[in-house]
């Protein structure tokens, strides 16, 4: 039995030595590299989530997607809400452009540019908050077209625009059309 094991040992050692002398470390690395490159082309590529870009492209009032009903004045994708961050006053006892009773319109506001698919024009929209009552809590929209991160002062919309009113308590947000954007 021992002789058989010695024989297998010897045979294995000879084979391993022969293989080692005919294969350099460099050629082994080349083989591994080739396998990796081939794998990159043949293995399935994981899908990318591009929904945020699609959302950004579609919420600038680009028009309703095919097969979808026209957005209502209480829907976030209604064209003039392209840059809202807050509760729609049209769901809170007011309208798209007026504050609900018992609240007052903010003295400062965020202004966005939204595309109206009905006439093909771009409009300046002032997003004034309504102040003096606790948060409405209905129809929260966060479309925020053109918004930039908080460290870019002046171009950030996650702000309580009631800050300059007698009451800084935020209730909802209106979308008041203030002009047509100039082209060019």
Binding stretches for ligand ABN (CB under 6 A): 85-86, 129, 158-161, 170, 173
Pick 77 or 129: Cβ nearer ligand ABN: 129
Among residues 27 and 135, whose Cβ is nearest to ligand ABN?
135
Minimal distance, residue 172 CB to ligand ABN, in Å:
9
* Least gap, CB of 135 to ligand ABN (angstroms): 8
Cβ of residue 114: shortest distance to ligand ABN, in angstroms?
16
Least spacing, CB of residue 126 vs ligand ABN, in Å = 12
Active site residue 161: no
Measured CA angle at 75 (ends 74, 77), to 5 deg:
140
Minimum CB distance to ligand ABN smaller for 113 or for 117: 113
C-alpha gyration radius of the chain: 32
Of 79 and 174, the one with the shorter C-beta distance to ligand ABN is: 174
* Residue 169 · residue 92 · CB < 8 Å: no
C-alpha dist (Å) from residue 8 to 20, 38, 73 = 18, 37, 84
* Catalytic site residue from 122, 129, 147, 158: 129
List the beta strands (DSSP E) in the chain.
85-87, 104-116, 121-131, 140-142, 170-173, 176-180
Helix, strand, or coil here: 35? helix
Give the alpha-carbon dihedral of 29, 34, 35, 37, to 10 degrees.
120
CB of 29 to ligand ABN, least distance (A): 56
List the beta bridge partners of residue 98: none
By beta-carbon proximity to ligand ABN, the closer residue of 73 and 169 is: 169
From the list 127, 40, 43, 33, the residue with the least C-alpha distance to 89 is: 127
Which sequence positions are flagged as catalytic? 110, 129
């Amino acid at each position: 039995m021992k002789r058989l094991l010695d024989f297998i040992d010897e045979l294995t050692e000879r084979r391993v030595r022969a293989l080692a002398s005919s294969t350099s470390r460099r050629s082994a690395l080349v083989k591994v590299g080739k396998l990796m490159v081939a794998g990159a082309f043949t293995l399935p590529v994981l899908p990318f989530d591009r929904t945020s870009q699609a959302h950004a492209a579609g919420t600038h009032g680009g028009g309703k997607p095919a097969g979808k009903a026209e957005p209502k004045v209480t829907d976030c994708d209604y064209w003039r809400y392209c840059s809202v961050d807050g509760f729609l006053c049209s769901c809170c006892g007011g309208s798209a452009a007026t504050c609900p009773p018992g609240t007052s319109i903010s003295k400062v506001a965020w202004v966005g540019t939204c595309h109206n698919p009905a006439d093909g024009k771009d409009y300046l929209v002032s997003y004034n908050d309504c102040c003096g009552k606790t948060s409405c809590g209905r129809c929260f929209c966060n479309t925020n077209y053109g918004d930039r991160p908080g460290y870019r002062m002046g171009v950030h919309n996650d702000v309580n625009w009631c800050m300059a009113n007698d009451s800084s308590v935020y209730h909802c947000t209106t979308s008041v059309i203030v002009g047509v954007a100039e082209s060019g």
